[in-house]
């Protein structure tokens, strides 16, 4: 509705739309968060003719930084965790065009009113990004744990936003565990929602970041959806750019996997993320006995009580081999007790900066909240270089959507929204 005095679009916030079938029946509308977000979005002035996107479950901002590098304007981001939100705000909300960061629970936001506010200028939403919290799908959960986890339902909250914003495409990232048979009902429902909303939802693909030039072994699921009315013709996923020596013999066009040697260079002066965990003297002596450049715990002569009867968790307290891609940066990537996260030659765990470099964040991207919070943010992020490659790969679909939108008048688009 237009304000007769100002001529500006007025947005009336309504009760949030919660995905059908959600177990979260006690969620109440946080009107103040929703209203504040709508009002702030209406005050923004956005570049004309730029491709636009929205980043849900934005975390520290890996997807948003990648989108900006791919020359998209991020209009709206949503993040719940305060330290991640602080990192996002400090790094991404101080440069024009500034995204608006809604800091709070996405389940109490109304995607319909937010879509009208974010795109009140009549431009379309071109892309929705996001990585709904994945712990419910994690491979670290045993047997049927994770089934029915409320965090799994967040993929459907994600789709509520897709339905409301009607982007040309959406790209969702998650852990491979979401493809396990026990999570099939949740995933089937997501695909059904996509079909009913008019999207061609591509089969979920597991991509290894090292196959695309990231110095890290990291397998994650990506799901791409494109509006069917755009008649999308796109090779998905994009062909790998890097590979093992065996793959390179089959395809000489591939480059070698990128090793992680460069991430261990000196950090910028006074870098607040050039920090690592403090260790006991006993643990430091263990690291001293561990061979450099890839040595493992068992070579140090130290046996943990929890491993006396089995040889599992072989990477715990192991050193990273700088001549290979690094291991997966998890939310505990700065803690050597959680994986192969010891510096190649020094006698301590890796720093936040080194972990961030492995995730292809630039050195001027500062993570807030202290050591443990920063490590968690790094581990939760999408590698920036991989995300940028994927976004640039689907830009032809976004451009097709923009060309179609140019044939529809802005008032008609709002009326149909």
Does residue 134 have an active-site annotation?
yes
Question: Is 65 within 8 Å of 92 (Cβ atoms)?
Answer: yes
Distance of alpha carbon 355 from alpha carbon 224, whole angstroms: 27
Distance of alpha carbon 357 from alpha carbon 351, whole angstroms: 10
Which residue stretches of 197-348 are H helix?
A: 245-250, 281-289
The token pair at 390 is 């994927």
Sign (positive/negative) of CA torsion 338, 341, 346, 351?
A: negative
Distance of alpha carbon 112 from alpha carbon 100, whole angstroms: 16
DSSP, collapsed to helix, strand or coil, labels residue 223 as strand
**Could you tell me the CA-to-CA distances from 167 to 100, 107, 123, 198 in Å, in that order?**
18, 20, 11, 11
Distance of alpha carbon 248 from alpha carbon 242, whole angstroms: 8
Sign (positive/negative) of CA torsion 274, 57, 90, 217?
A: positive
The token pair at 221 is 């699921």
Count CA atoms within 13 Å of residue 156 on its CB side: 22
Distance of alpha carbon 10 from alpha carbon 219, whole angstroms: 44
Q: Which one of 13, 53, 134, 333 is the catalytic residue? A: 134
Cis peptide before 55 (omega within 30 of 0): no
Selection from 97, 41, 39 nearest residue 71 by Cα: 97
Q: Determine phi and psi for 260, rounding to 5 degrees.
A: -100, 15
Q: Determine phi and psi for 33, rounding to 5 degrees.
A: -65, -45
Across 189-198, b (16+ Cβ under 10 Å) vs e yields bbbebbeebe
Active site members: 134
């Amino acid at each position: 509705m237009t304000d007769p005095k100002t001529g500006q679009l007025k947005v009336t916030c309504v009760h949030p739309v919660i995905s059908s079938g959600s177990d979260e029946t006690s969620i109440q509308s946080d009107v103040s968060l929703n209203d504040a977000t709508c009002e702030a979005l209406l005050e923004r002035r956005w570049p004309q003719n730029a491709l636009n996107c929205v980043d849900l479950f934005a975390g520290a901002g890996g997807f948003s930084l990648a989108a900006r590098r791919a020359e998209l304007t991020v209009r709206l981001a949503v993040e719940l965790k305060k330290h991640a939100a602080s990192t996002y705000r400090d790094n991404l909300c101080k440069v024009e065009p500034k995204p608006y960061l809604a800091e709070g629970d996405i389940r109490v936001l109304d995607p319909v009113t937010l879509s009208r506010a974010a795109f009140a200028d009549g431009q379309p939403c071109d892309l929705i990004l996001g990585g709904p919290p994945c712990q419910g799908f994690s491979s670290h959960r045993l047997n049927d744990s994770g089934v029915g986890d409320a965090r799994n339902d967040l993929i459907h909250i994600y789709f509520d936003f897709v339905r409301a914003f009607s982007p040309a495409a959406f790209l969702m990232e998650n852990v491979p565990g979401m493809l396990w048979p026990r999570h099939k009902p949740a995933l089937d429902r997501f695909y059904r929602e996509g079909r009913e909303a008019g999207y061609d939802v591509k089969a979920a693909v597991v991509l290894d970041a090292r196959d695309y030039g990231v110095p890290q072994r990291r397998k994650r699921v990506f799901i791409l959806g494109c509006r069917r009315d755009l008649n999308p013709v796109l090779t998905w996923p994009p062909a790998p750019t890097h590979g093992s020596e065996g793959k390179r013999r089959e395809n000489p066009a591939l480059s070698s996997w990128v090793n992680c040697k460069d991430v261990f260079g000196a950090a910028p002066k006074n870098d607040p993320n050039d920090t690592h965990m403090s260790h006991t003297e006993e643990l430091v002596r263990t690291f001293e006995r561990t061979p450099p450049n890839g040595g493992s715990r068992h070579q140090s002569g130290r046996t943990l009580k929890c491993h006396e009867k089995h040889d599992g968790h072989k990477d715990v307290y192991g050193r990273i081999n700088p001549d290979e891609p690094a291991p997966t940066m998890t939310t505990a990537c700065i803690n050597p007790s959680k994986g192969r996260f010891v510096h190649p030659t020094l006698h301590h765990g890796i720093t936040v900066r080194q972990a961030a470099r492995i995730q292809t964040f630039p050195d001027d991207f500062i993570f807030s909240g202290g050591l443990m919070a920063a490590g968690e943010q790094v581990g939760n992020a999408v590698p920036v270089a991989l995300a940028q490659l994927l976004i640039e790969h689907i830009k032809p679909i976004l451009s097709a959507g923009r060309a179609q939108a140019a044939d529809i008048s802005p008032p008609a688009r709002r009326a149909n929204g």
